[in-house]
Amino acid sequence: MADQRVAIVTGAARGIGAATAKRLAADGFAVAVLDLDEANCADTVKAIEAEGGKALAVGVNVSEREAVEAAVERVANELGAPTVLVNNAGITKDNMLFKMTDGDWDAVIAVHLKGHFLMTQATQKYMTQAKYGRIINLSSTSALGNRGQANYSTAKAGVQGFTKTVAIELGKYGITCNAIAPGFIETEMTAATAARVGISMEDFKNAAASMIPVARVGQPEDIAHTVSFLASEGSGFVSGQIIYVAGGPKD
């Protein structure tokens, strides 16, 4: 299909990114599946192709300018000009403030903040040319503050400011920019947190669910569904918003 729209999803080898890539492919997008290691993208690409979709695996570290520029150019050459970008790649390096190292701080800020900046900068030129675009960033309820996550909550609060500014700068080109702030989503990231605090994933999930109004933890598909809405043509008057997807109100 010559005019198939192209979406880029970072951190799409697993978790929320993989579910999002599959959902956007089901919505009709050709999907660039980006992650640190190209080989790790194979499962997501195969799942998309098995459903008749089109996908391309690309290895990239989103915090490295040259790699990002090369990756986005490759997507444009091999799939077509990208007009949807989902900045999803992320890491945690949790520690209480008094124990947090420079390395813990720098790594988290680099992947989330520099990653969002570089990926958005490299992709917006295709969107401004097309006079159409949808940029969807991954923040977190941790932006509101979370024990043991001074680095991560700072990065996720920064993503919200970045989102609003990009929405203001690029709006006149038909480009929207919004952020999704998930609560507890069952992925390897939350499994790693359970392991760090020394409880089983089942107990961790039950404790979280007991404090969530809809009485369950989230699944990657809950976030993919929200991305699908924000990536759709019909969402063109929604921009600069932070949507908490957490099973209850947050602010």
Taking the C-alpha atoms of residue 242 and residue 251, their distance in angstroms, rounded to an integer, is 10
DSSP string over 14-25 = SHHHHHHHHHHH
- Nearest-5° angle of CA 10, CA 227, CA 11? 15
Nearer to ligand NAP, 15 or 80 (CB): 15
* Per-residue mark of binding to ligand NAP, 108-137 (x: CB under 6 A): ---x---x----------------------
Dihedral of alpha carbons 50, 53, 57, 63, sign: negative
Taking the C-alpha atoms of residue 122 and residue 8, their distance in angstroms, rounded to an integer, is 12
- Nearest-5° angle of CA 168, CA 169, CA 174? 85
- 152 is a catalytic site residue: yes
Here the tokens at position 100 are: 């947090």
Is 15 among the residues that bind ligand NAP (CB under 6 A)? yes
Q: Which stretch binds ligand NAP (CB under 6 A): 77-85, 165-173, 177-185, 208-216?
A: 177-185
Residue 104, burial from CB neighbour count under 10 angstroms (0-12, 13-18, 19+): middle
Out of 17, 53, 80, 133, name the contact with ligand NAP by CB under 6 A.
Answer: 17
Is 190 among the residues that bind ligand NAP (CB under 6 A)? yes
Site for ligand NAP in 28-57 (CB under 6 A): 35-37, 40
Nearer to ligand NAP, 130 or 194 (CB): 194
Beginning with the edge strand found earlier in the chain, give each strand of the sheet holding 30-35 in spatial order.
Answer: 55-59, 30-35, 6-10, 82-87, 133-138, 175-182, 242-245
Here the tokens at position 199 are: 């409880």
Nearer to ligand NAP, 27 or 43 (CB): 43
Out of 151, 187, 226, 228, name the contact with ligand NAP by CB under 6 A.
Answer: 187
Is 66 among the residues that bind ligand NAP (CB under 6 A)? no
Query: CB of residue 155 vs ligand NAP: minimum separation in angstroms?
Result: 8
Query: CB of residue 171 vs ligand NAP: minimum separation in angstroms?
Result: 24
Is 247 among the residues that bind ligand NAP (CB under 6 A)? no
Here the tokens at position 2 are: 């010559």
Is 184 among the residues that bind ligand NAP (CB under 6 A)? yes
Residues making contact with ligand NAP (CB under 6 A)? 10-11, 13-17, 35-37, 40, 60-63, 88-91, 111, 115, 138, 140, 182, 184-185, 187-190
* Catalytic (active-site) positions: 152
